[in-house]
Amino acid sequence: MDDSPLHHPAAAAGIRARNTALGFHGSCQDRTGALLRTLAALKPGGRLLELGTGTGAGTAWILDGMSSDAHLVTVERDPELAAVASDLLRSDHRVEFTVDDLHEWMPQQRGQTFDFVFVDCRLAKQHHETVLGLLRPGAVYVADDLHPGTGWGPQDVVARDEYLATLAADPRLRPTLLDWSSGLVVAAVDGHG
């Protein structure tokens, strides 16, 4: 079976070209993007969150799945990367680009809740409790890049394994690991208690 996506977001080609010009290699893979689109579509009218915008590849896939009345907040600390995403996607009224460091941004969000999160930077994986605090019961949690990447050392593998152990031990989550694309976890936030 060829599981590569048949359809790509309209902005994908432009983002790829800008990535090549910038030498940015951090965009999510297309298979991950297709899954993000599917999961985003589960939250009509929802509030969605992406932690680590990069140049907007994941943002474009998430927007492609969202209903017309859903809202996406995406956060990136690098203004040059965020500007690429914003250039190509800001005409979509459903997305709100935030240029900030998650160290600063996350503690300011107390009281805000989301129905979906794409956890796509290391810091957000390390601050599990803070991220979970932003999610409503029934929310979808997705993280990628769990397969060792370029430049990973033994300490990165240890950090990844600790992260996965934290997710597995969290009674509020129902996680599934996917040994697919860049290595993913998809979890549901417990909606029963």
Return residues touching ligand SAM (CB under 6 A).
26-28, 50, 52-54, 57-58, 75-78, 81, 101-103, 120-121, 123
Residues 11/56, Cβ–Cβ less than 8 Å: yes
Nearer to ligand SAM, 28 or 184 (CB): 28
Spell out the long-range contacts of 155-158 with Cβ–Cβ below 8 A and sequence spacing 24 or more.
none
E strand or H helix at 32, and its extent? helix 30-40
Q: Which residue's CB is nearer to ligand SAM, number 121 or number 131?
A: 121
Taking CB positions, which residue lies at the least distance from ligand SAM? 58
What is the C-alpha end-to-end distance of the chain, expressed in Å? 39
Task: Report the residue number, 57 or 134, with the smaller CB distance to ligand SAM.
Answer: 57
Give me the least distance between CB of 109 and ligand SAM, in Å please.
13
Closest distance to ligand SAM from the beta carbon of 15 (Å) = 8
Query: Is 103 or 147 the residue whose CB approaches ligand SAM more closely?
Result: 103
Name the minimum Å distance from CB 193 to ligand SAM: 30
Sheet with 135-143, side-by-side order of all strands: 95-99, 71-76, 47-51, 114-119, 135-143, 184-189, 173-178
Min dist. Cβ of residue 131 to ligand SAM (A)? 12
- CA proximity to 48, closest of 140, 181, 186: 140
HSE-up of 171 (CA within 13 Å, CB side)? Answer: 2
